Chain A
Amino acid sequence: MTTVDHALESAKVRATPEEKRSRILTGVYFALSVFVLFAFAFDEDADMDATFKLALPRDRFEPIDWVFEPRIMSIVVSIILATLGVVQLLRGFGRWDNVVLGGAMVLFVLAFLGWAAAGQSFSLVGMLTSMVVLSVPVTAGGLTGLMCERVAVINIGIEGQLLGSAFVGTIVGSTAGRWVGLLGAIAIGALLGAALAVLVIKYRVDQIIAGVAINIFALGLTSFMATRVLGPNPEFNEPERFGTIAIPVLEDIPVIGNMFFKNNIFLYGMLLLVVLIHIGLFHTRWGLRSRSVGEHPKAADTLGINVYRTRYRNVILGGMIAGFGGAALTLGSTGRFEENMTAGVGFIGLAAMIFGRWRPFGVLGAALVFGFARGLQQKLGILGTPIPSEFLSMAPYIVTIIVVAGLVGRARPPAADGQPYIKD
């Protein structure tokens, strides 16, 4: 077939999409390489040692801090990136495409951090830990979105669900204790999920409109009640919180121990949920039937599966997960409710879901990336980089756009996503 391919090459009218993508990636690698070289390596302060701390005070084991000269590191990274660019141009990486891209991004960020930390010491482990912590609400949002979209219901109202359950969590948590508060938050999440389900399934309201309505409703009502009820009665906004529970032995593993095993029940809960949902979706009867409803509801219907009931059930379950996530905001970290405290986290959760290709572990991975971006923003503020803080604040949102733009066309949502099911 080589003669045909040859003829094809010369007769080509345009490039294939793969070729286009390959060219774009090559360009990206070279551009990054040059950027790292000029922005980081040639910076005049780049010869001052940077220290990456790998342990927190009070850790049992103290691994050695990583001290290095940012200039050298940047040059090394730049060379690696250029090499990647060359390989991409000549051969490409085939199936490892995305992994290599991810790796290149990690290298870039490392070089950036090294540059930012020149002459100072920077708690790398601190940042990694906050990455995990910040990823919890995003994971919650993403899992909620996933549960709904796997049965073909687009849930734009996650933001409202998180906000509503955060609010209820704090009020109930202040009056009846944290466990009841947690239950209350989950119940509200389920309630809002049920509202979405009823609107979308029974009344066939457009899914995005229903989600937007829930968001406006939740934002309005929680803000209203925050002023009217919490304001004059601050004792309703001081819930009993869930403290850190360290897991013995595991907590002492360097770096990882701090990241994953010294946290509150919300992190542990999220990790558990990710595993449970993965097993559930891909290995159980419940999962097979749910996914069939999301892919081809008519086919599921003809096999005796109750499409409506499946959708109701999964959307409400998703709402419960959002409830758990909302509780994490008030009963876990901050301990008090503020108006509009979610600030877009629900939408970032949706982006994580798309980024994660509608798979639970993918959502977790994506949430970690977003958590990293948020953590970066906070830590860089401390380091005092010349970049204005507002731009750092923009970072997670810009990352979201890049991810969604780059991935949507190639990741496939459940086939019936967004469409109501009408049984005739």
Chain B
Amino acid sequence: MSERTTMDQITGVGGRLRDALLVPTLALITALLIGGLIIAVTDVDILRLWGDDPAEAFKQTLEAVGGAYKALFVGSLGSVNAISETLFAATPLILAGLAVAVGFQAGLFNIGAEGQMVIGGMTALFLGFTFDAPTIILLPITLLGAIVGGAFWAGIAGLLRAKTGAHEVITTIMLNFIALFLAQWLLKTSVFQQTGRSDPISKPVNEGAQLPRLFGDDYRVTVGLLIALAAAGFVQWLMYHTSIGFQYRTVGANPDAAKYAGMNVVWLTVAVMATSGALAGLAGANQILGLPPYEGTTAFSGGIGFDAIALALLGRSKPLGVVWAGLLFGALTAGGRQMQGVERIPIDLVEVIQALIIVFIAAPALVRSIWRIKTTDEGTGQITTGWSA
């Protein structure tokens, strides 16, 4: 295995460690600062106060922003429960992030993690309430179903890309919407719908399919976390120690060379998307099987698909990086819930912060010029190759 990848794995050794960590840290800090600014200027009452009593307005601003960030911290790291919440939120993020990262490494933009989560999740759901068996049998079956469902849904986009050249950015986004509508419909059919209800909520899965909690009933973290970490390990092994991974990386780096090397680019495009979708499907399963009341609703995927893109970027498409990024975003999410609950700051602010982080990671020069520092970080560079590569 090449030296390069060993070093990247640990995100830098020796002198490169400072560089590798400096930009992401500053990116986070800058994003949080801007977030604070947004909190300050969107409180209409405080804004009105500036006209009358600037000193009081300033004090209230600091309170609002300070309170928000205190809640953010407390909610993510401030207690054992908070850490459990962070890990719990991180689980699907890591899986979805891995899905997008696998795509990126092969030069494919999988924006469809959302839809793949839905289909994977619905498959797991179906298997989960149809069959009844002890956990050791039922859980693997449902997870397998999720893998197959997600792989299938992503595979459609992969096949379209391979056979017709249709760019997966558009097809996966369209498939997202189609998946959502499909789920909406399914949840109203008699097969899925919970008996006695008229809204689109499914039957709950049987006990054997529920993901066991990792640290006892008080904490929400489940075995799903282990699955996510194992998936990260698997992706690492796949990409750098197998011939399949070598093919994925080659197709991503240079499809012409891949063809020359005898690799079947058509099959690989489908395979990469399927692998990606499989991981996303697992994320979807986690959302249903990992959370009481273990039912499917129309909103269980909740925007994770787009966050996953941010994660893959932050993690430089490397599995270990994605895990770290997933933990970070998990912390933001858990903290954000606290922020929304206690301080009444809408959790959408977390989205804004995430978007800013993406921008700063992708354009480290921005961070550099804001903070007047020098790094050797080159940013994520060019991944796109146009519509009909």
A-side interface residues toward B, CB under 8 Å? 154, 156, 199, 203-210, 212-217, 219-221, 223-225, 227-229, 232-233, 343-344, 347, 350-351, 354, 388, 390-391, 393-394, 397-398, 400-401, 404-406, 408-409, 413, 417-420
Residue contact B181 to A206, C-beta cutoff 8 Å: no
Looking at the complex, which one of A220, A400, A417 makes contact with B170 (CB distance below 8 Å)? A400
**Count of B interface residues, CB-CB < 8 Å:** 54
Sample 12 A-B pairs with CB under 8 A, ordered by A number.
A199-B362, A203-B366, A215-B306, A216-B306, A220-B350, A220-B351, A344-B173, A351-B170, A398-B174, A401-B160, A408-B387, A418-B385
Question: Are B348 and A209 in touch, CB under 8 angstroms?
Answer: no
Of A397, A406, A417, A419, the contact of B178 (CB 8 Å cutoff): A397
Least CB distance from B75 to A in Å reads 17
Give Cα distance in the complex from A206 to B107, angstroms: 12
Q: Which of B77-85, B161-169, B219-227, B238-246 contacts A (4 or more CB under 8 A)?
A: B161-169
Question: With an 8 A cutoff between CB atoms, is B96 at the interface?
Answer: no
Q: Which 8 A-B pairs have the closest CB atoms?
A: A220-B351, A418-B386, A217-B355, A203-B363, A390-B185, A224-B348, A220-B352, A216-B355
Contacts of B257 in A (CB 8 A): none
Contacts of A350 in B (CB 8 A): 170
Q: Which A residues touch B253, using CB under 8 A? A: none
Residue of B nearest to A222 (CB): B348
A212-B111, A216-B351, A400-B170 given; 12 more Cβ-contact pairs under 8 Å: A205-B362, A206-B383, A220-B350, A221-B348, A224-B349, A394-B178, A401-B171, A405-B166, A405-B171, A408-B166, A409-B388, A419-B382
Say whether B356 faces chain A, with CB atoms less than 8 Å apart.
yes
The reply to whether A206 and B382 contact each other, CB–CB distance below 8 Å, is yes
- Chain B residue, CB-CB nearest to A199: B363
Provide the main secondary structure of the chain B interface.
Answer: helix
Total A-B Cβ pairs within 8 A:
167
* B residues whose Cβ falls under 8 Å from a Cβ of A: 38, 42-44, 109, 111, 160, 164-167, 169-171, 173-175, 177-178, 181-182, 184-185, 306-307, 309-310, 313, 345-346, 348-352, 354-356, 358-359, 362-363, 365-366, 379-388
User: Nearest chain A CB to B376's CB is how many angstroms away?
Assistant: 16
A406 → chain B, closest Cβ, in Å? 7
Asked if residues B313 and A209 are in contact (CB atoms below 8 Å), the reply is yes
**Central interface residue in B44, B178, B354, B365, by most chain A CB within 10 Å:** B178
CA distance in complex: A46, B200 (Å):
34
Q: Given that A209-B313, A215-B306, A220-B348 are contacting pairs, would A390 and B184 also be in contact in the complex, using a CB cutoff of 8 Å?
A: yes
Q: Is B351 a contact partner of A413 (Cβ separation < 8 A)?
A: no
Establish whether residues B182 and A217, one from each chain, have CB atoms under 8 Å apart when the complex forms.
no
Contacts of B185 in A (CB 8 A): 388, 390-391
Contact of A223 among B167, B307, B346 (CB under 8 A): B346
Contact B382 A420 (CB under 8 A): yes
